[in-house]
Chain A
Amino acid sequence: MSDDILSPEARQAIEKLGQADIVIGIPSYNNGRTIGHVVRAAQAGLNKYFPEFRGVIINSDGGSKDDTRRQVLEAQLDPAQLLLVETPLHPVHRLSFPYHGIPGKGSAFRMIFRMARDLGAKACAVVDSDLRSITPEWIDLLVRPVVHRGYDFVAPYYHRHKYDGTITNSIVYPLTRALYGQRIRQPIGGDFGLSGAVLETYLARKDWETDVARYGIDIWMTTIAVARGFKVCQSFLGAKLHDAKDPGADLSAMLQQVVGSVFALMIEFRDVWMRVHGSRDVELFGFRYDVGLDPIPVNLDRMVQAFVRGEADLREVWSMALSDATLRELGAIARAARSAPAAAFRISDELWVSVIYEFASAYAELPTARTHLVRSLTPLYLGRVASFVNETRDMNAAEVEERIEQLCLAFERLKPFLVERWGGPRVDEFRPRPAPAAGKPQEVSS
């Protein structure tokens, strides 16, 4: 691999440090407001839980205009507040460098992984720079399974508000679980623990300059770890609270990067997921407890309007992927939504699973239309979120989790149709529909 992903300053720092046992990576872009807290939490975590190890905190910055890098280098920790039982044998070094290449989280991770490998790190953890809820225990929970239990990949497990993580809940978690058979609840959580072996695998790959360079990185890391047979576990981290500031991308671009990465990896790991049936639990570490969560506002009317507008405008694009039967069902739902209140809007699990599977299959089959296909999913996704909001309005967290479980089971149940039709031409009907009862109008999923 060429050395140009590391700046001369970064290479000098590696030479100066020589070796490190644990690397904590923090990607950033204009996170001066929150990154100081994240760095202090990481430093405290290394001092408190890994006093015998050499720890380094590396900030990989995307050219922040604010004082992000200064905050990293100046973050101070008062050791007296930590009440340490063991005095750390080694100081925790803090480094901050700008990364090169396509601007995005993936490129930032690439630099961190490269530095971790060159430092000979046994374990690496990456955490977001805008976290408000990170504590030193997060470092322990992400690193310990790698250092002491031989795991290669530690995924996060959080408590989240029922309307938080909707791409995760409606697409990425159920789809990844059905495909690869492992129930990793937060596959795009953003905070991970990694072994040196898995880092080597990531760095050896040639697809860093794709959507992986941006928001596709999280699902890319999780999928490769699972599909390549690395030892995977989860750690309960409590609540995940972000800074309110939005990332600099629009929803369709974000969806394209995340879902496009899932679909692209489906092509690569076709032989792996086609053999998988059902799913199994993945070991979960950490002490589970309930936490209070920030409420998340949703604008139901806007989401339903986006779906109805999309159904009117994007039929031409959808018809490249969706079967006639699925298109008819979506059309019926859109017609009903024009006259019915938004609170009555529904997209059934079976229909949603068909939509995702049919898009995945078309993504493999139509290389020249991939970007358009995945971006045209946006109104369908917003419709599904609106339906989920309606269904779970009065549900508590456990009931919502049960509802998500039902969706996952629908993904697993309909997987044989995906296997059968994968990469083939568009069909009139993706899955068999129950015949309408005699003398009764056919029900649509609204």
Chain B
Amino acid sequence: MIETFRQVLEQSVARLSAQATMYLPSLFVAIVVFGVAWIAALLVRWLLLHAFKGERVDAFLRRTGIGTMLDHSGRLRASPLMAHAIYYAILLIGLLNAISVFDTDITRDIVDGVVHLLPKLLAAGAIILGGIWLAQYLGRGALVWASNEGFPWARRFCAFVRVVVVFVSIVVAADVLNFARTVFFSAFLIFSIGAVVAACLVLALNHREVYRWFASSRGRDAETGSERSLWHHL
């Protein structure tokens, strides 16, 4: 019994020692690779933060409204944005290289998966970012129009437009990633039908207010005799 136990223990130790002999150098190399990548990432980030002014990118972010979209304070600058983006990109490349050092089926699958998924992830990210920008733009247009028209729920209308546009962009991004397509498509249908029903309910419950707004806006056009003509503004 004791002999059997000793044999099992010896075999286990031998297996462990064989695995350690096989994987420890790889682990060491992986740690070194990742460490080098990390140091390179830190160095590049430091360089970018100190050498790259990015005034043109700053102006672009500000002029297109992307800056305020990503950071509401409007103080987002291109230099830290680029520096952090490149820092994490180098870290990711280092991590993938470190994993690939092991050269096993699992690590190969992980690296292949990330390499194949990355373009899709970037595309999905760009779609969502574009969707948020478009939602901001269209929502703002809806807000200005509704307010100038004297629409009673201008801000809610603006929020509704934004939610719809962002939701559509999420559905498209999920489709690109091939992720929960059916779920998102069903949710989109339910949301659309729900929005129509909600709009009908709002109109039905507030019909007096809606009618008053409609009548006053029509009246504004019709009663030019008692109101200033538009010519009088010029």
Contact = CB atoms under 8 A, between A and B. Distances in A.
B229 interface: yes
A309 B140 contact: no
B64 interface: yes
Contacts of A95: none
A163 B228 contact: yes
Contacts of B63: 365-368
Interface stretch (B11-19, B143-151, B196-204): B143-151
Nearest to B137: A368
A19 interface: no
A231 interface: no
13 contacts: A163-B232, A167-B233, A218-B234, A245-B224, A245-B229, A252-B144, A255-B233, A297-B226, A310-B148, A316-B140, A317-B140, A369-B65, A372-B140
Contact of A317 (B144, B150, B233): B144
B138 to A, nearest CB: 10
Interface in A250-278: 250-252, 254-255, 258
A355 B77 CA distance: 27
Contacts of B233: 165-167, 251, 254-255
Contacts of B221: 246
A371 interface: yes
B144 A372 contact: yes
Contacts of A60: none
B69 to A, nearest CB: 11
A253 to B, nearest CB: 9
B143 A317 contact: yes
A426 interface: yes
Nearest to A130: B231
B105 interface: no
A379 interface: yes
Contacts of A79: none
Contact of A316 (B143, B224, B229): B143
A254 B147 contact: no
A368 B231 contact: no
Given A309-B147, A314-B147, A366-B63, A246 B141 contact: no
6 smallest A-B Cβ distances: which pairs?
A313-B147, A313-B154, A252-B148, A242-B231, A167-B233, A375-B144
A310 B227 CA distance: 20
B140 A306 contact: no
Contacts of A309: 147, 150, 154
A299 B227 contact: yes
Interface string B184-212: 00000000000000000000000000000
A168 B233 CA distance: 7
Contacts of A251: 148, 230, 233
A379 B147 contact: yes
Interface in A1-32: none
A395 to B, nearest CB: 18
Nearest to B216: A302
A184 to B, nearest CB: 15
B231 A372 contact: no
Given A317-B143, A378-B148, 9 more contacts: A165-B232, A246-B224, A247-B230, A250-B230, A251-B230, A366-B63, A368-B64, A372-B140, A375-B144
B62 interface: yes
B215 to A, nearest CB: 14
B234 A369 contact: no
Contacts of B224: 244-246
Contacts of A426: 74
A298 B231 contact: no
Given A316-B143, A317-B143, A165 B65 contact: no
Nearest to B225: A244
Contacts of B155: 313
Given A309-B150, A317-B140, A369-B140, A247 B231 contact: yes
A291 interface: no
A437 interface: no
A190 interface: yes
Interface string A282-304: 00000000000000111100000
Contacts of A246: 221, 224, 229-231
A314 B234 contact: no
Most chain A beta-carbon contacts within 10 A, residue among B64, B140, B144: B144
B74 A375 contact: no
A317 B229 CA distance: 27
Given A246-B224, A371-B141, A306 B150 contact: yes
Interface in A363-420: 365-369, 371-372, 375-376, 378-379
B136 to A, nearest CB: 9
A379 B224 CA distance: 19
